[in-house]
Amino acid sequence: MSEDGESPLDALALEQALSRLEAMDARKVRVVELRYFAGLEMSDIAQVLGISRATAQRDCEVARAFLLAASLALAGAAHRAAAAMQPRREA
């Protein structure tokens, strides 16, 4: 785990989810990058991307929902893998 509390697996999962989102809509990924990694406000993001503030906000909300769904899917897969690794009890 790194100093910021993020494990390498978390970073890899985020990178993979952002790559999948970028394949569908690169602008939404750019909004995420500008908001969460560069720390810009929505009005600044809108100006940089040449879109309205409302569009930037919608893109951010859609991207957040996409990333949340991706993280839940990853968590579910990890849970299933962990369950499959449990020793079976014999009757």
- pLDDT confidence of residue 2: 46
- pLDDT confidence of residue 3: 54
Stretches in the chain below the pLDDT threshold 50: 1-2
CB within 8 Å of 59: residues ≥ 6 apart: 25, 27, 28, 31, 51
- pLDDT confidence of residue 47: 98
Asked if 49 and 31 touch (Cβ cutoff 8 Å), the reply is yes
- pLDDT confidence of residue 1: 43
- pLDDT confidence of residue 69: 87
pTM score of the predicted model:
0.73
- pLDDT confidence of residue 61: 95
